[in-house]
Structure 1
Amino acid sequence: MEPRAADRCFLGDVGFWVERTPVHEAAQRGESLQLQQLIESGACVNQVTVDSITPLHAASLQGQAQCVQLLLAAGAQVDARNIDGSTPLCDACASGSIECVKLLLSYGAKVNPPLYTASPLHEACMSGANVNAAKLHETALHHAAKVKNVDLIEMLIEFGGNIYARDNRGKKPSDYTWSSSAPAKCFEHYEKTPLTLSQLCRVSLRKATGVRGLEKIAKLNIPPRLIDYLSYN
């Protein structure tokens, strides 16, 4: 069987700095046919640029759902961090693309990635003179709040998003909403109404299944209705 492009991209290659590759360009522009051809020809879907941007970051930031799907299916790292500390899920929320967010979550993207874990590159940048530290400690929920997208906010919380997570300014996601606005009322509702036990169980199981969780859940020997619930159908 022919190995996937991601399998041919060794771990050492993932950390190798390059300028933007044709995969990055196709992903950003939404050129799904070109991207598919590049993947089939063996192009690495996890190649990073000098600022640690992967093709999945590029596609997510532009809301290119079809390209996000192709990259994830080819083995793109769903929780890769760029130099600002953002994951593709953060970028998808910044773009306001619900479809991209759904895809990333279905492939096990972490809603609450560690906020204070940084690579040596991040540490070096944080001690430098010109950095974007404001992004180093933000969650996807912070991004959703900033773009004032209630549907995204609800989706992330239902997937276990921490409404009390603080960024490096000490602000919660709700602090980026206007008082009495729809996003503010959404956060207020969830602060007053804890998730149900069934919802907490669903979040915990999805977290345990990790990447490609939907495939694993579909194989469980449980009633179809439970599979649908765990799959957010």
Structure 2
Amino acid sequence: MAYMYQWLDVPWGDGDMGSWADRSPLHEAACQGRLLALKTLLSQGHNPNIITIDHVTPLHEACLGDHVACARALIEAGANVKATTIDGVTPLFNACSTGSFTCTEVLLEHGAKPQAEACQPSPIHEASSKGRAACIESLISWGADVDYDIPHLGTPLYIACVSQQLQCTQKLLDGGANVQKGRFMDTPLHAAAQKDCPDIIRLLLEFGANINARNLEQQRPVETAPPSSTAESALLLYEAMPQSLCQLCRLSIRNYMGRSRLHLIPHLKLPTLLKSFLQYR
């Protein structure tokens, strides 16, 4: 499919309109990962912040294609790491969408915001929905809100459960995500039950998910699971077995510490085995 681009060979933010073209050479080089061609164009004075009619920059293209070297070259030439398309998409969102951990790190190191602005597509939600666990870990380490709630989507944890992404669910919980916070009254456990994901169900329960939480229809997670499914069996088994004292102690200690201090567990003056236990390792 051919797209028509309007590109501006002027500094970012200037209002003067440039010429029309199907695609700027800089966009093309960034999209295809042609580093030498991209550097040549930049050395010839091409603006790294040239935009299409949809305000897509070459940096957007490089990150979507996981072309790290091109992304670095564009940033070094002055590309705006916070640039947004007309839909609010940032280069960071594209990097998380494609699963480029290195591009994600490069953007964050150069000032990209780990947290999306209101009404903008959220990088951590995108990473959670597509199984980009490494990107999630990077975003959390740079200060992204692990419980960022978008009304029509819910939290990243809820999205990871809906998308059946076990590794992402683990990363979010390790990062201190609220195991009870989902979308409206639906908890992540409801989502995992509906999707028949016993592995995610067991993980959520280990982190203290409330098996008796009720959604808007006043249903518990077990009541939303498909009949005779593995999810239903896992929840019924959990209901029939009391939690161990070790599990209750671990949850109490983690709750007492609070999410903001969980990263300090490795520095506690405790045996390594106990610190690993508190970190679910």
Amino acid across the alignment from 2:52: T
Give the 3 Å change call, closer, same or farther, for CA 198–187 of structure 1 in structure 2.
closer
Q: 1:144 aligns with which of 120, 124, 127?
A: 127
Q: Does 1:191 align with 2:177?
A: yes
Distance of 2:109 and 2:171 partners within structure 1: 23
Residue of structure 2 in register with 1:172 after alignment: 155
Unaligned runs of 5+ in 1: 1-7, 117-136, 200-233
Give the 3 Å change call, closer, same or farther, for CA 194–69 of structure 1 in structure 2.
same
Give the 3 Å change call, closer, same or farther, for CA 173–144 of structure 1 in structure 2.
same
Distance of 1:146 and 1:180 partners within structure 2: 7
Q: 1:52 aligns with which of 55, 59, 62?
A: 55
Per the TM alignment, residue 16 of structure 1 is displaced from its structure 2 partner at its CA by 5.6
Larger Rg: 2
- Equivalenced residues, count: 173
Q: Does 1:72 align with 2:75?
A: yes
* SS of 2:117 mapped into structure 1: coil
Amino acid across the alignment from 1:9: P
Unaligned runs of 5+ in 2: 1-9, 179-257, 265-281
Judge conservation of contact 1:163–1:187 (CA < 8 Å) in 2: yes
Distance of 1:141 and 1:14 partners within structure 2: 35
In the TM superposition, 1:211-226 aligns within 5 A as none
Residue of structure 2 in register with 1:30 after alignment: 33
Judge conservation of contact 1:15–1:47 (CA < 8 Å) in 2: no
TM-score normalised to structure 2 length? 0.56
Judge conservation of contact 1:14–1:46 (CA < 8 Å) in 2: no
Distance of 1:50 and 1:65 partners within structure 2: 24
Identity %: 30
After superposition, the C-alpha distances for 1:116-163 in whole angstroms (9 at most, x for unaligned) are 3xxxxxxxxxxxxxxxxxxxx321111111121221111110100111
TM-score normalised to structure 1 length? 0.67
After superposition, the C-alpha distances for 1:191-226 in whole angstroms (9 at most, x for unaligned) are 265233998xxxxxxxxxxxxxxxxxxxxxxxxxxx
Per the TM alignment, residue 10 of structure 1 is displaced from its structure 2 partner at its CA by 5.9
Q: Which of 1 and 2 has higher RCO (CA within 8 Å, sep 6+)? A: 1
Amino acid across the alignment from 1:187: L
After superposition, the C-alpha distances for 1:81-111 in whole angstroms (9 at most, x for unaligned) are 0122110000000010111111101101001
Q: Does 1:99 align with 2:102?
A: yes
